[in-house]
């Protein structure tokens, strides 16, 4: 196993961020990979992408902004970011509580007695015609019934209560323009995705995976500093649980394969299988019933079929999070691969209990391998009976 030293880890991290060398990526794909770019200063995203992309054309990003494929909106840490339309709609509801908590903390006295839901309803009515409005225009339209609230506080309360976007020409290349606000749903043509009705933090889980892909490795504190969100440990725990479940299944299956492959390298005592094809495992249950039963259970778990509930639990977690993250095409690819894998897992499991084609040699008496198989089998049984245990354990360590 290769162990990364500090320099290799540093360069791997830079490569994930597209900072080790300019990449040949379309502009939209780069914005997606980076989970958006800081855009408090309107020209910042252009510099950030020029630093990362080979032959970057600023006009391409301006076209995406005008074409509503990307949008300028308040998101991470309640600051302006340039993000894809899909990410803005998928993630915005996850920020509602944080936005409101921060503004109520910063303007506690002035916000007393302000009904944010009522303010949001009034703002939606003002912006319903789709016309972008300046800060002054919005405040003037909403201040009549709130004479004790300052203009700054009222605008900050509005930003926290209603998902808004900044309309072009703000944010275009080499263009100076003031901020004009429009409803995010109006700008992008559809409503913000609502929180999951079942309480599963799918948006948070998607953000964790995306952040780790672009900036990892990272600790929970790094995620919180980047996003400004609390509660992401639960999303991290779900990701850790998925990895842990599949680790148990794969360790057990590979331990069996490694054990018999080692046997194939030993001096032969008569014709014996090479253990390099599925048919070599035919009839394994006749000579090694315990090992065959464990292997069959690992394969059923990997297939996601009962009684291997742990595999089904892991597949549901990742499929739901993928769809919730807006990457439906990837979920389709995963589904196709799952069906293909199902055939091989079941074909392998069936061969274990079929009539043997030849002599089945003994498994090497390697204590470490036998212990690994036994431990993995025990773990698979426990997690199939109560798959939520690994999720709870992961949550407790966050």
pLDDT in tens, 259-294: 776 555 444 444 555 566 777 788 888 888 888 888
Under DSSP, the state recorded for 164 is E
Q: Which residues pair with 183 in a beta bridge?
A: 164
By the 10 Å C-beta count (0-12 exposed, 13-18 middle, 19+ buried), 112 is classed as exposed
Give percent of the chain with pLDDT exceeding 90: 39
pTM of the predicted protein model:
0.64
**Cβ neighbours around 114 below 10 Å, total:** 19
Tens of pLDDT, residues 127-169 = 999 999 999 999 999 988 888 889 999 999 999 999 999 999 9
Tens of pLDDT, residues 360-373 = 555 656 777 788 88
126 touches 138 (CB < 8 A): yes
Tens of pLDDT, residues 166-175 = 999 999 999 9
Q: Compute, in degrees rounded to 10, the torsion defined by CA atoms 273, 279, 284, 285.
A: -170
């Amino acid at each position: 196993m290769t162990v990364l030293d500090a320099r290799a880890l540093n360069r791997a991290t830079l490569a994930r961020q597209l900072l080790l060398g300019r990449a040949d990526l379309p502009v939209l794909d780069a914005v997606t990979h980076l989970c958006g770019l800081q855009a408090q200063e309107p020209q910042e995203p252009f510099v950030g992408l020029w630093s990362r992309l080979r032959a970057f054309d600023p006009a391409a990003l301006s076209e995406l902004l005008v074409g509503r494929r990307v949008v300028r909106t308040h998101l991470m840490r309640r600051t302006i970011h340039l993000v894809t339309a899909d990410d803005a709609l998928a993630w915005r509801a996850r920020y509602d509580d944080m936005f409101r908590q921060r503004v109520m903390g910063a303007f506690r006295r002035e916000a007393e007695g302000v009904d944010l839901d009522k303010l949001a309803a009034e703002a939606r009515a003002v912006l319903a015609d789709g016309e972008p409005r300046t800060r002054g225009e919005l405040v003037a339209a909403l201040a009549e019934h709130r004479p004790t609230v300052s203009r700054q506080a009222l605008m900050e309360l509005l930003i926290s209560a209603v998902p808004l976007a900044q309309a072009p020409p703000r944010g275009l290349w080499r263009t100076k323009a003031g901020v004009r606000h429009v409803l995010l749903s109006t700008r992008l043509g559809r409503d913000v995705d609502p929180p999951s009705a079942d309480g599963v933090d799918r948006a948070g889980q998607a953000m964790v995976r995306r952040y780790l892909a672009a900036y990892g490795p990272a600790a929970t504190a790094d995620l919180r500093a980047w996003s400004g969100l609390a509660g992401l440990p639960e999303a991290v725990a779900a990701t850790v649980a998925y990895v842990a479940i599949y680790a148990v299944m794969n360790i057990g299956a590979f331990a069996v394969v490694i054990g018999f492959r080692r046997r194939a390298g030993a001096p032969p005592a008569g014709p014996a299988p090479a253990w390099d094809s599925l048919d070599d495992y035919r009839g394994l249950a006749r000579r090694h019933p315990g090992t065959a039963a464990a292997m069959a259970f690992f394969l059923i778990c990997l297939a996601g079929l009962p009684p291997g509930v742990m595999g089904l639990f892991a597949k549901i977690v990742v499929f739901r999070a993928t769809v919730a993250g807006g990457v439906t095409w990837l979920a389709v690819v995963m589904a196709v691969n799952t069906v293909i894998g199902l055939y091989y897992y079941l074909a392998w499991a069936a061969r274990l209990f079929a009539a043997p084609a030849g002599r089945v040699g003994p498994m090497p008496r390697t204590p470490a391998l036998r212990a690994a198989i036994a431990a993995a089998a025990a773990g698979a049984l426990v997690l199939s009976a109560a798959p939520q245990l690994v999720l709870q354990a992961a949550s407790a360590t966050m």
